[in-house]
Amino acid sequence: MRVMRDGFQKLLGTADLLPEESARWTHAEAIVRATMRRFGFGEIRTPIMEPTGLFEKGTGASTDIVQKEMYTFTDRGDRSITLRPEGTPSAVRAYLEASLGAQRPAWKLFYSGPMFRAERPQKGRLRQFHQYGAELIGSALPAADVEIITLAEATLRDLGVGEFSLILNSIGDADARNAHNAALRDYLGRDDVRTKLCDDCIRRAATNPLRIFDCKKESCLRLIARAPTIDGYLTDDDRSHFDTVRSSLKSLGIPYEIDVRMVRGLDYYTRTTFEIKSSRLGAQDSLLGGGRYDRLVELYDGPPTPAVGFAAGWERILEVLEMAGAPPNGSPPLDVFVCTLGEQAQTRAAHILAAIRALGFSADRDFLGRGLKAQMKEADRSGARYVLIVGDDEIARGRFTLRRMDTSEQTDIDADHTKWTQGTFAV
Ligand code: HAM
Protein backbone atom coordinates (compact mmCIF):
# COMPACT_ATOMS: atom_id res chain seq x y z
CA MET A 1 0.00 0.00 0.00
CA ARG A 2 1.28 3.41 -0.91
CA VAL A 3 1.60 6.23 1.58
CA MET A 4 -0.07 9.28 0.08
CA ARG A 5 1.64 12.68 0.17
CA ASP A 6 0.06 15.27 2.46
CA GLY A 7 -1.62 12.51 4.49
CA PHE A 8 -4.46 12.10 1.98
CA GLN A 9 -5.04 8.45 2.83
CA LYS A 10 -8.56 7.18 3.23
CA LEU A 11 -9.90 7.74 6.73
CA LEU A 12 -9.43 5.05 9.35
CA GLY A 13 -12.31 2.57 9.25
CA THR A 14 -13.29 3.35 5.64
CA ALA A 15 -12.60 1.29 2.52
CA ASP A 16 -12.23 1.68 -1.24
CA LEU A 17 -13.94 -0.91 -3.38
CA LEU A 18 -11.90 -1.50 -6.51
CA PRO A 19 -13.61 -2.92 -9.64
CA GLU A 20 -13.18 -6.61 -8.86
CA GLU A 21 -14.52 -6.24 -5.35
CA SER A 22 -17.31 -3.86 -6.27
CA ALA A 23 -18.42 -6.35 -8.94
CA ARG A 24 -18.90 -8.90 -6.14
CA TRP A 25 -20.96 -6.35 -4.20
CA THR A 26 -23.12 -5.46 -7.20
CA HIS A 27 -23.75 -9.14 -7.83
CA ALA A 28 -24.69 -9.74 -4.17
CA GLU A 29 -26.90 -6.64 -4.11
CA ALA A 30 -28.80 -7.90 -7.16
CA ILE A 31 -29.48 -11.17 -5.32
CA VAL A 32 -30.82 -9.36 -2.23
CA ARG A 33 -32.96 -7.04 -4.37
CA ALA A 34 -34.50 -10.10 -6.04
CA THR A 35 -35.23 -11.69 -2.65
CA MET A 36 -36.79 -8.45 -1.37
CA ARG A 37 -38.98 -8.31 -4.48
CA ARG A 38 -40.09 -11.92 -3.94
CA PHE A 39 -41.19 -10.98 -0.42
CA GLY A 40 -43.03 -7.88 -1.66
CA PHE A 41 -40.69 -5.23 -0.19
CA GLY A 42 -40.27 -1.92 -2.07
CA GLU A 43 -37.02 0.01 -2.00
CA ILE A 44 -36.69 3.27 -0.08
CA ARG A 45 -33.70 5.59 -0.50
CA THR A 46 -33.26 8.20 2.19
CA PRO A 47 -30.54 10.85 2.73
CA ILE A 48 -27.38 9.74 4.52
CA MET A 49 -27.57 12.85 6.74
CA GLU A 50 -30.43 13.61 9.07
CA PRO A 51 -31.19 15.97 11.95
CA THR A 52 -29.23 14.70 14.98
CA GLY A 53 -32.40 14.57 17.11
CA LEU A 54 -33.84 11.81 14.93
CA PHE A 55 -31.23 9.38 16.27
CA GLU A 56 -31.01 10.83 19.77
CA LYS A 57 -34.71 10.20 20.16
CA GLY A 58 -35.09 7.00 18.11
CA THR A 59 -31.84 5.02 18.41
CA GLY A 60 -31.82 6.23 22.00
CA ALA A 61 -29.90 8.78 24.09
CA SER A 62 -28.45 6.08 26.38
CA THR A 63 -27.09 3.84 23.60
CA ASP A 64 -23.39 3.57 22.76
CA ILE A 65 -24.26 4.72 19.24
CA VAL A 66 -25.68 8.06 20.39
CA GLN A 67 -23.30 8.50 23.34
CA LYS A 68 -20.04 7.83 21.56
CA GLU A 69 -20.33 6.83 17.93
CA MET A 70 -22.21 9.41 15.90
CA TYR A 71 -20.60 11.58 13.25
CA THR A 72 -22.30 14.82 14.18
CA PHE A 73 -21.47 18.28 12.90
CA THR A 74 -22.97 21.73 12.84
CA ASP A 75 -23.77 22.91 9.33
CA ARG A 76 -23.50 26.44 7.98
CA GLY A 77 -27.03 27.19 9.17
CA ASP A 78 -26.10 26.19 12.74
CA ARG A 79 -28.15 22.99 12.54
CA SER A 80 -26.90 19.80 14.17
CA ILE A 81 -26.58 17.14 11.48
CA THR A 82 -25.63 13.47 11.85
CA LEU A 83 -24.43 10.93 9.30
CA ARG A 84 -26.92 8.11 9.81
CA PRO A 85 -25.60 5.35 12.10
CA GLU A 86 -28.48 3.05 11.08
CA GLY A 87 -31.43 3.01 8.69
CA THR A 88 -34.50 2.43 10.85
CA PRO A 89 -35.05 6.03 12.12
CA SER A 90 -34.74 7.37 8.56
CA ALA A 91 -37.18 4.79 7.17
CA VAL A 92 -39.73 5.67 9.87
CA ARG A 93 -39.20 9.42 9.34
CA ALA A 94 -39.76 9.01 5.59
CA TYR A 95 -42.82 6.82 6.22
CA LEU A 96 -44.30 9.56 8.42
CA GLU A 97 -43.23 12.47 6.23
CA ALA A 98 -44.90 10.93 3.17
CA SER A 99 -47.99 9.94 5.21
CA LEU A 100 -47.63 6.39 3.91
CA GLY A 101 -49.77 5.10 6.76
CA ALA A 102 -52.76 7.09 5.46
CA GLN A 103 -52.53 5.32 2.08
CA ARG A 104 -52.23 1.74 3.28
CA PRO A 105 -52.23 0.20 6.76
CA ALA A 106 -49.08 -1.88 6.26
CA TRP A 107 -45.87 -1.16 4.37
CA LYS A 108 -42.91 -3.29 3.43
CA LEU A 109 -39.80 -1.19 2.82
CA PHE A 110 -36.17 -2.14 2.18
CA TYR A 111 -32.94 -0.18 1.82
CA SER A 112 -29.26 -0.70 1.14
CA GLY A 113 -26.52 1.84 1.70
CA PRO A 114 -23.73 3.30 3.83
CA MET A 115 -24.02 3.84 7.60
CA PHE A 116 -21.55 5.64 9.87
CA ARG A 117 -20.42 4.81 13.39
CA ALA A 118 -17.22 6.11 14.99
CA GLU A 119 -16.33 2.76 16.54
CA ARG A 120 -12.82 1.47 17.10
CA PRO A 121 -12.07 -0.17 13.74
CA GLN A 122 -11.19 -3.85 13.73
CA LYS A 123 -11.87 -6.84 11.51
CA GLY A 124 -15.57 -6.72 10.59
CA ARG A 125 -16.04 -3.29 12.18
CA LEU A 126 -15.77 -0.15 10.11
CA ARG A 127 -16.65 3.50 10.57
CA GLN A 128 -18.33 3.67 7.19
CA PHE A 129 -20.00 0.32 6.65
CA HIS A 130 -22.95 -0.80 4.57
CA GLN A 131 -26.23 -2.39 5.46
CA TYR A 132 -29.24 -3.75 3.73
CA GLY A 133 -32.37 -3.77 5.82
CA ALA A 134 -36.10 -4.26 5.72
CA GLU A 135 -38.91 -2.74 7.76
CA LEU A 136 -42.49 -4.02 7.95
CA ILE A 137 -44.45 -1.08 9.33
CA GLY A 138 -48.08 -1.37 10.49
CA SER A 139 -48.56 -4.93 11.78
CA ALA A 140 -48.56 -6.04 15.40
CA LEU A 141 -49.08 -9.70 14.55
CA PRO A 142 -46.44 -12.32 15.36
CA ALA A 143 -46.80 -13.29 11.68
CA ALA A 144 -45.00 -10.04 10.79
CA ASP A 145 -42.05 -10.99 13.03
CA VAL A 146 -41.96 -14.38 11.32
CA GLU A 147 -42.09 -12.77 7.85
CA ILE A 148 -39.11 -10.53 8.73
CA ILE A 149 -37.07 -13.38 10.22
CA THR A 150 -37.90 -15.58 7.23
CA LEU A 151 -36.84 -12.78 4.87
CA ALA A 152 -33.58 -12.23 6.78
CA GLU A 153 -32.82 -15.95 6.51
CA ALA A 154 -33.83 -16.09 2.84
CA THR A 155 -31.43 -13.27 1.89
CA LEU A 156 -28.54 -15.16 3.51
CA ARG A 157 -29.51 -18.44 1.84
CA ASP A 158 -29.92 -16.82 -1.58
CA LEU A 159 -26.53 -15.18 -1.19
CA GLY A 160 -24.98 -18.55 -0.41
CA VAL A 161 -23.95 -17.77 3.18
CA GLY A 162 -23.44 -21.31 4.43
CA GLU A 163 -23.76 -21.81 8.14
CA PHE A 164 -25.40 -19.36 10.47
CA SER A 165 -27.41 -19.43 13.66
CA LEU A 166 -30.48 -17.49 14.66
CA ILE A 167 -30.62 -16.15 18.20
CA LEU A 168 -33.92 -15.01 19.55
CA ASN A 169 -35.22 -13.17 22.60
CA SER A 170 -38.24 -11.20 23.73
CA ILE A 171 -37.60 -8.04 25.71
CA GLY A 172 -41.31 -7.47 26.30
CA ASP A 173 -43.36 -4.31 26.07
CA ALA A 174 -43.47 -1.32 28.43
CA ASP A 175 -44.85 -3.15 31.52
CA ALA A 176 -42.29 -5.92 31.39
CA ARG A 177 -39.51 -3.45 30.68
CA ASN A 178 -40.46 -1.24 33.63
CA ALA A 179 -40.62 -4.19 36.02
CA HIS A 180 -37.32 -5.55 34.71
CA ASN A 181 -35.72 -2.10 34.91
CA ALA A 182 -36.75 -1.77 38.56
CA ALA A 183 -35.29 -5.19 39.35
CA LEU A 184 -32.08 -4.33 37.51
CA ARG A 185 -31.74 -1.01 39.35
CA ASP A 186 -32.12 -2.85 42.67
CA TYR A 187 -29.49 -5.37 41.68
CA LEU A 188 -27.04 -2.78 40.31
CA GLY A 189 -27.54 -0.64 43.41
CA ARG A 190 -26.37 -3.40 45.76
CA ASP A 191 -23.08 -2.49 47.46
CA ASP A 192 -21.32 -5.67 46.33
CA VAL A 193 -22.29 -4.92 42.70
CA ARG A 194 -22.21 -1.12 42.33
CA THR A 195 -18.65 -0.76 43.57
CA LYS A 196 -17.34 -3.24 40.99
CA LEU A 197 -19.01 -1.79 37.89
CA CYS A 198 -17.03 0.02 35.19
CA ASP A 199 -17.67 3.76 34.66
CA ASP A 200 -19.83 3.07 31.60
CA CYS A 201 -22.02 0.65 33.54
CA ILE A 202 -22.38 3.09 36.45
CA ARG A 203 -23.72 5.59 33.90
CA ARG A 204 -25.90 2.87 32.32
CA ALA A 205 -27.30 1.86 35.73
CA ALA A 206 -28.47 5.44 36.22
CA THR A 207 -29.82 6.13 32.70
CA ASN A 208 -30.96 2.82 31.19
CA PRO A 209 -29.97 -0.26 33.21
CA LEU A 210 -30.81 -2.63 30.34
CA ARG A 211 -27.76 -1.26 28.52
CA ILE A 212 -25.42 -2.99 31.00
CA PHE A 213 -25.96 -6.09 28.86
CA ASP A 214 -24.00 -4.27 26.10
CA CYS A 215 -20.86 -4.22 28.29
CA LYS A 216 -18.01 -6.44 27.16
CA LYS A 217 -15.64 -5.85 30.11
CA GLU A 218 -14.52 -9.01 31.88
CA SER A 219 -15.18 -7.58 35.39
CA CYS A 220 -18.74 -6.50 34.49
CA LEU A 221 -19.58 -9.72 32.62
CA ARG A 222 -19.36 -11.71 35.85
CA LEU A 223 -21.79 -9.34 37.56
CA ILE A 224 -24.08 -9.19 34.54
CA ALA A 225 -24.27 -12.99 34.47
CA ARG A 226 -26.06 -12.83 37.82
CA ALA A 227 -28.34 -9.87 36.96
CA PRO A 228 -32.10 -10.48 36.64
CA THR A 229 -33.08 -11.25 33.05
CA ILE A 230 -36.16 -10.11 31.16
CA ASP A 231 -37.77 -13.54 30.78
CA GLY A 232 -38.98 -13.42 34.38
CA TYR A 233 -40.92 -10.20 33.77
CA LEU A 234 -42.78 -10.76 30.48
CA THR A 235 -46.54 -10.18 30.64
CA ASP A 236 -49.01 -12.83 29.44
CA ASP A 237 -49.45 -10.91 26.17
CA ASP A 238 -45.68 -10.67 25.61
CA ARG A 239 -45.33 -14.35 26.31
CA SER A 240 -48.15 -15.39 24.02
CA HIS A 241 -46.74 -13.21 21.20
CA PHE A 242 -43.31 -14.78 21.65
CA ASP A 243 -44.74 -18.32 21.85
CA THR A 244 -46.54 -17.81 18.52
CA VAL A 245 -43.34 -16.52 16.86
CA ARG A 246 -41.42 -19.52 18.20
CA SER A 247 -43.96 -22.13 17.20
CA SER A 248 -44.28 -20.63 13.69
CA LEU A 249 -40.50 -20.73 13.23
CA LYS A 250 -40.49 -24.30 14.45
CA SER A 251 -43.21 -25.35 12.04
CA LEU A 252 -41.31 -23.65 9.19
CA GLY A 253 -38.23 -25.67 10.11
CA ILE A 254 -36.19 -22.58 11.07
CA PRO A 255 -33.93 -23.50 14.01
CA TYR A 256 -33.15 -20.90 16.70
CA GLU A 257 -31.58 -20.54 20.10
CA ILE A 258 -32.90 -18.36 22.91
CA ASP A 259 -30.57 -15.90 24.64
CA VAL A 260 -32.34 -14.02 27.43
CA ARG A 261 -29.36 -11.65 27.76
CA MET A 262 -29.49 -10.45 24.17
CA VAL A 263 -30.85 -6.90 24.36
CA ARG A 264 -29.39 -5.39 21.15
CA GLY A 265 -27.69 -2.01 21.19
CA LEU A 266 -30.70 0.14 20.27
CA ASP A 267 -33.40 1.59 22.52
CA TYR A 268 -36.51 1.26 20.37
CA TYR A 269 -37.05 -2.49 20.57
CA THR A 270 -40.13 -4.08 22.08
CA ARG A 271 -40.86 -7.81 22.31
CA THR A 272 -39.06 -9.92 19.69
CA THR A 273 -35.36 -9.25 19.08
CA PHE A 274 -33.06 -11.43 17.03
CA GLU A 275 -29.58 -11.75 15.57
CA ILE A 276 -28.05 -14.07 13.03
CA LYS A 277 -24.42 -14.99 13.65
CA SER A 278 -21.81 -16.75 11.59
CA SER A 279 -19.34 -19.15 13.18
CA ARG A 280 -16.88 -18.27 10.40
CA LEU A 281 -16.38 -14.74 11.75
CA GLY A 282 -14.31 -13.70 14.75
CA ALA A 283 -15.37 -11.31 17.51
CA GLN A 284 -17.68 -9.36 15.18
CA ASP A 285 -19.79 -12.37 14.30
CA SER A 286 -23.22 -10.78 13.92
CA LEU A 287 -24.31 -10.83 10.27
CA LEU A 288 -27.63 -9.18 10.94
CA GLY A 289 -29.91 -8.06 13.71
CA GLY A 290 -33.40 -6.79 14.16
CA GLY A 291 -36.59 -6.87 16.10
CA ARG A 292 -39.94 -5.35 16.80
CA TYR A 293 -40.23 -1.64 17.56
CA ASP A 294 -43.87 -0.91 18.34
CA ARG A 295 -43.31 2.54 19.91
CA LEU A 296 -40.96 4.27 17.47
CA VAL A 297 -43.56 5.75 15.10
CA GLU A 298 -45.39 7.21 18.11
CA LEU A 299 -42.13 8.52 19.56
CA TYR A 300 -41.81 10.56 16.34
CA ASP A 301 -45.33 11.93 16.91
CA GLY A 302 -47.01 9.53 14.52
CA PRO A 303 -50.12 7.48 15.28
CA PRO A 304 -49.61 4.23 17.25
CA THR A 305 -48.03 1.98 14.61
CA PRO A 306 -46.36 -1.33 15.40
CA ALA A 307 -43.37 -2.35 13.27
CA VAL A 308 -40.62 -4.93 12.92
CA GLY A 309 -37.44 -5.05 10.85
CA PHE A 310 -33.81 -6.07 10.50
CA ALA A 311 -30.54 -4.88 9.01
CA ALA A 312 -27.55 -6.87 7.78
CA GLY A 313 -23.91 -5.84 7.45
CA TRP A 314 -22.67 -6.13 3.86
CA GLU A 315 -18.95 -6.22 4.75
CA ARG A 316 -19.40 -9.18 7.08
CA ILE A 317 -21.58 -11.06 4.61
CA LEU A 318 -19.10 -10.55 1.77
CA GLU A 319 -16.29 -11.72 4.03
CA VAL A 320 -18.18 -14.93 4.83
CA LEU A 321 -18.96 -15.46 1.13
CA GLU A 322 -15.31 -15.07 0.26
CA MET A 323 -14.31 -17.57 2.94
CA ALA A 324 -16.94 -19.96 1.59
CA GLY A 325 -15.14 -19.82 -1.75
CA ALA A 326 -17.63 -17.74 -3.75
CA PRO A 327 -16.21 -16.71 -7.13
CA PRO A 328 -14.09 -13.58 -6.62
CA ASN A 329 -15.88 -11.69 -9.32
CA GLY A 330 -19.62 -11.73 -9.75
CA SER A 331 -19.52 -10.05 -13.15
CA PRO A 332 -19.33 -12.20 -16.29
CA PRO A 333 -16.08 -12.04 -18.28
CA LEU A 334 -15.74 -9.87 -21.34
CA ASP A 335 -17.51 -11.08 -24.50
CA VAL A 336 -15.23 -9.71 -27.23
CA PHE A 337 -11.73 -8.27 -27.15
CA VAL A 338 -10.89 -6.40 -30.36
CA CYS A 339 -7.23 -6.57 -31.44
CA THR A 340 -6.18 -3.91 -33.91
CA LEU A 341 -3.24 -3.95 -36.33
CA GLY A 342 -2.41 -0.91 -38.44
CA GLU A 343 -3.67 2.62 -38.83
CA GLN A 344 -6.94 1.98 -40.63
CA ALA A 345 -7.82 -0.63 -38.04
CA GLN A 346 -7.26 1.93 -35.27
CA THR A 347 -9.82 4.27 -36.82
CA ARG A 348 -12.34 1.47 -37.42
CA ALA A 349 -12.01 0.11 -33.86
CA ALA A 350 -14.38 2.62 -32.23
CA HIS A 351 -17.13 1.74 -34.73
CA ILE A 352 -16.53 -1.95 -34.23
CA LEU A 353 -16.75 -1.63 -30.43
CA ALA A 354 -19.97 0.40 -30.79
CA ALA A 355 -21.49 -2.23 -33.12
CA ILE A 356 -20.70 -5.13 -30.76
CA ARG A 357 -21.97 -3.22 -27.71
CA ALA A 358 -25.16 -2.29 -29.59
CA LEU A 359 -25.83 -6.02 -29.98
CA GLY A 360 -25.80 -6.29 -26.18
CA PHE A 361 -22.32 -7.80 -25.77
CA SER A 362 -19.46 -6.36 -23.75
CA ALA A 363 -16.49 -5.29 -25.84
CA ASP A 364 -13.07 -3.82 -25.14
CA ARG A 365 -9.76 -3.15 -26.90
CA ASP A 366 -6.20 -2.06 -26.30
CA PHE A 367 -5.75 1.66 -25.70
CA LEU A 368 -1.97 1.74 -25.54
CA GLY A 369 -1.07 1.12 -29.18
CA ARG A 370 0.62 -2.17 -28.30
CA GLY A 371 1.61 -4.97 -30.72
CA LEU A 372 -0.56 -8.00 -31.47
CA LYS A 373 1.22 -10.25 -28.98
CA ALA A 374 0.65 -7.85 -26.08
CA GLN A 375 -2.95 -7.38 -27.18
CA MET A 376 -3.55 -11.14 -27.20
CA LYS A 377 -2.08 -11.33 -23.70
CA GLU A 378 -4.43 -8.60 -22.55
CA ALA A 379 -7.38 -10.44 -24.15
CA ASP A 380 -6.38 -13.56 -22.20
CA ARG A 381 -6.18 -11.64 -18.95
CA SER A 382 -9.62 -10.14 -19.51
CA GLY A 383 -11.11 -13.64 -19.82
CA ALA A 384 -12.72 -12.65 -23.15
CA ARG A 385 -14.85 -15.32 -24.86
CA TYR A 386 -13.81 -14.09 -28.31
CA VAL A 387 -11.01 -12.14 -29.85
CA LEU A 388 -11.77 -10.23 -33.04
CA ILE A 389 -8.68 -9.50 -35.11
CA VAL A 390 -8.99 -6.31 -37.13
CA GLY A 391 -5.92 -5.58 -39.24
CA ASP A 392 -5.38 -3.39 -42.27
CA ASP A 393 -4.99 -6.61 -44.32
CA GLU A 394 -8.34 -7.91 -43.04
CA ILE A 395 -10.00 -4.59 -43.83
CA ALA A 396 -8.63 -4.80 -47.39
CA ARG A 397 -9.92 -8.40 -47.68
CA GLY A 398 -13.32 -7.52 -46.26
CA ARG A 399 -13.15 -10.36 -43.67
CA PHE A 400 -12.16 -10.32 -39.98
CA THR A 401 -10.92 -13.26 -37.95
CA LEU A 402 -13.05 -14.21 -34.93
CA ARG A 403 -11.28 -16.53 -32.51
CA ARG A 404 -13.13 -18.46 -29.83
CA MET A 405 -10.76 -18.44 -26.87
CA ASP A 406 -11.77 -21.67 -25.11
CA THR A 407 -11.48 -23.91 -28.22
CA SER A 408 -9.08 -21.75 -30.30
CA GLU A 409 -11.46 -22.20 -33.25
CA GLN A 410 -11.26 -19.43 -35.81
CA THR A 411 -13.94 -18.24 -38.21
CA ASP A 412 -14.04 -15.49 -40.78
CA ILE A 413 -16.76 -12.91 -40.42
CA ASP A 414 -17.86 -10.15 -42.79
CA ALA A 415 -15.96 -6.91 -42.08
CA ASP A 416 -19.15 -4.92 -42.61
CA HIS A 417 -20.34 -4.52 -39.01
CA THR A 418 -23.82 -3.46 -40.10
CA LYS A 419 -24.36 -7.09 -41.13
CA TRP A 420 -23.49 -8.50 -37.69
CA THR A 421 -26.17 -10.06 -35.53
CA GLN A 422 -26.11 -11.60 -32.07
CA GLY A 423 -25.51 -14.92 -33.81
CA THR A 424 -22.18 -13.61 -35.14
CA PHE A 425 -20.77 -13.88 -31.61
CA ALA A 426 -22.48 -17.14 -30.65
CA VAL A 427 -20.55 -19.63 -32.72
P1 HAM B 1 -27.47 -3.29 14.29
O2 HAM B 1 -27.44 -4.57 15.03
O3 HAM B 1 -26.90 -2.09 14.96
O4 HAM B 1 -29.00 -3.04 13.91
O5 HAM B 1 -26.74 -3.48 12.90
C6 HAM B 1 -27.09 -4.51 12.01
C7 HAM B 1 -25.86 -5.13 11.38
O8 HAM B 1 -25.03 -4.12 10.80
C9 HAM B 1 -24.93 -5.85 12.33
O10 HAM B 1 -25.40 -7.17 12.57
C11 HAM B 1 -23.63 -5.86 11.56
O12 HAM B 1 -23.61 -6.91 10.60
C13 HAM B 1 -23.68 -4.54 10.83
N14 HAM B 1 -22.85 -3.53 11.51
C15 HAM B 1 -23.19 -2.75 12.55
N16 HAM B 1 -22.16 -1.95 12.90
C17 HAM B 1 -21.14 -2.22 12.05
C18 HAM B 1 -19.81 -1.72 11.89
N19 HAM B 1 -19.32 -0.74 12.66
N20 HAM B 1 -19.05 -2.24 10.90
C21 HAM B 1 -19.54 -3.23 10.11
N22 HAM B 1 -20.78 -3.72 10.21
C23 HAM B 1 -21.58 -3.24 11.17
C24 HAM B 1 -29.46 -1.95 13.24
O25 HAM B 1 -28.76 -1.17 12.64
C26 HAM B 1 -30.98 -1.83 13.23
N27 HAM B 1 -31.34 -0.61 12.46
C28 HAM B 1 -31.61 -3.08 12.64
C29 HAM B 1 -33.11 -3.00 12.60
C30 HAM B 1 -33.86 -2.69 11.53
N31 HAM B 1 -33.93 -3.20 13.60
C32 HAM B 1 -35.17 -3.03 13.21
N33 HAM B 1 -35.14 -2.70 11.93
pLDDT digits (tens, 9 = 90+) for 108-133: 999 999 999 999 999 999 999 999 99
Tell whether ligand 1 has an atom less than 6 A from the beta carbon of residue 262.
no
Residue 128 domain flag = yes
| CATH number of residue 412's parent domain | 3.40.50.800
pLDDT value, residue 332:
65
Examine the domain organization and report whether 78 and 155 are in the same domain.
yes
Residue 45 domain flag = yes
Of residues 90 and 208, more confidence is placed in 90
Each residue's pLDDT tens digit, 51-90: 999 999 999 998 999 999 999 999 999 999 999 999 999 9
Residue 202 domain flag = no
Q: Which atom of ligand 1 is nearest to the CA of 293?
A: 32
Tell whether ligand 1 has an atom less than 6 A from the beta carbon of residue 285.
no
Q: How far apart are CA 312 and CA 334, in angstroms?
A: 32
Nearest CA to ligand 1 atom 9: 288
Is 330's pLDDT higher than 60?
no
Is 137's pLDDT higher than 90?
yes
Is 5's pLDDT higher than 90?
no
Q: How far apart are CA 205 and CA 202, in angstroms?
A: 5
Examine the domain organization and report whether 388 and 266 are in the same domain.
no
- The domain in which residue 303 lies consists of 3-173+235-323
In the chain, pLDDT over 90 holds for what percent of residues? 85
Examine the domain organization and report whether 255 and 385 are in the same domain.
no
- Residue 25 corresponds to which amino acid? W
| CATH number of residue 281's parent domain | 3.30.930.10
pLDDT value, residue 333:
77
Is 326's pLDDT higher than 80?
no
The last residue of one of the domains, among 262, 297, 323, is 323
Examine the domain organization and report whether 354 and 316 are in the same domain.
no
The band of 20, judged by pLDDT with boundaries at 50, 70 and 90, is confident
Examine the domain organization and report whether 18 and 93 are in the same domain.
yes
Residue 167 domain flag = yes
Examine the domain organization and report whether 317 and 343 are in the same domain.
no
Q: Which atom of ligand 1 is nearest to the CA of 131?
A: 8
Residue 202, CA atoms < 13 Å, CB-side half-sphere: 7
pLDDT value, residue 280:
87
pLDDT value, residue 329:
55
Q: How far apart are CA 44 and CA 251, in angstroms?
A: 32
Tell whether ligand 1 has an atom less than 6 A from the beta carbon of residue 290.
yes
pLDDT value, residue 426:
82
Average pLDDT, the chain: 94
The last residue of one of the domains, among 323, 351, 368, is 323
Q: Please tell me the distance between residue 362's alpha carbon and the centre of ligand 1 in angstroms.
A: 37
User: Total domain count for the chain?
Assistant: 2
Cβ–Cβ < 8 Å for 59, 27 = no
Tell whether ligand 1 has an atom less than 6 A from the beta carbon of residue 313.
yes
Examine the domain organization and report whether 420 and 276 are in the same domain.
no
Examine the domain organization and report whether 13 and 40 are in the same domain.
yes
Examine the domain organization and report whether 7 and 127 are in the same domain.
yes
Examine the domain organization and report whether 365 and 308 are in the same domain.
no
